[in-house]
Chain A
Amino acid sequence: DVKVTQSSRYLVKRTGEKVFLECVQDMDHENMFWYRQDPGLGLRLIYFSYDVKMKEKGDIPEGYSVSREKKERFSLILESASTNQTSMYLCAIRKQTSGRAPDEQFFGPGTRLTVL
């Protein structure tokens, strides 16, 4: 079965720090996504990647960057964390051959980031 892991469940950082959130999948899925989820705003796409070194901006990329050097790992980077980046961050992969639906996205457990 598909396994998506995220580096931390809970993270507390200070304003101005550089923050790395890691997402690792255990199969050869090409498409990976980073979302943030906030009450009343739902899931919003930050960045996604459709292959190694390939990335595209989502709906709210400002203040974030990403890195995908290997197929199984997709990192979200907060260059200089701010309090308005306090949120739940969810990584997802598109299940290509093993999913019930061709565009099904499968989510990792999430990282709750607090920026003080």
Chain B
Amino acid sequence: QKEVEQNSGPLSVPEGAIASLNCTYSDRGSQSFFWYRQYSGKSPELIMFIYSNGDKEDGRFTAQLNKASQYVSLLIRDSQPSDSATYLCAVKSYGTASKLTFGTGTRLQVTL
């Protein structure tokens, strides 16, 4: 069973701080990694994806991937109250016909 693990939180950070969200995965054959944001009562929306080891930046978001450690993280700089949501990590393994395996999500609370 391929697994994707996330701390459920809540992770509480003050406004303006850096939020760090972490995800580990069990399948070494995993090749694509996604971060989705889900507001309460809404469906998930993609905010970042990463395929290669290292960092990928997009605005206030940075995704970090370390395949040797089977670890992917999401950093949110200058956190805003509007970033308060649940963040889902998703992983695609090689040869799985575009199926994604999702973690259970980390709830982020950005406090004023």
User: Chain A: residues with CB nearer than 8 A to chain B?
Assistant: 31, 33, 35, 40-45, 48, 50, 56, 58, 90, 94, 100-110
Pick from B10-18, B41-49, B68-76, B77-85 the stretch touching chain A.
B41-49
CB atoms of B43 and A107 under 8 A apart: yes
For A45, the closest partner residue in chain B by CB is B99
Verify if B102 is at the interface (C-beta below 8 Å from A).
yes
Chain B binding site: helix, strand, loop or mixed by DSSP?
loop
Residues of A contacting B92 in the complex (Cβ-Cβ under 8 angstroms): 103
Residues of B contacting A35 in the complex (Cβ-Cβ under 8 angstroms): 102
Q: Number of A-B pairs whose CB atoms are under 8 Å?
A: 55
CB atoms of B104 and A41 under 8 A apart: yes
User: Chain B: residues with CB nearer than 8 A to chain A?
Assistant: 8, 32, 34, 42-46, 49, 88, 90, 92, 97-100, 102-105
- Which of B46, B92, B103 counts the most chain A CB atoms within 10 A? B46
CB atoms of B103 and A42 under 8 A apart: yes
CB atoms of B43 and A42 under 8 A apart: no
Residues of A contacting B103 in the complex (Cβ-Cβ under 8 angstroms): 42
The complex places the Cα of A1 from the Cα of B100 at a distance, in Å, of 22
What are 23 A-B contacts defined by CB distance under 8 Å? A35-B102, A41-B104, A42-B88, A42-B103, A42-B105, A43-B44, A44-B102, A48-B97, A56-B97, A58-B99, A101-B32, A101-B46, A101-B49, A102-B32, A103-B34, A104-B49, A105-B98, A105-B100, A106-B46, A107-B43, A107-B44, A107-B45, A110-B43
Task: Report the minimum CB–CB distance from B12 to chain A (whole Å).
Answer: 19
- Which of A50, A106, A107, A108 counts the most chain B CB atoms within 10 A? A107
The complex places the Cα of A31 from the Cα of B99 at a distance, in Å, of 9
Given A43-B44, A44-B102, A104-B46, 18 more pairs with CB closer than 8 A: A33-B99, A42-B88, A42-B105, A45-B100, A48-B97, A56-B97, A100-B46, A103-B32, A103-B34, A103-B92, A103-B98, A104-B34, A104-B49, A105-B46, A105-B100, A107-B44, A107-B45, A108-B43
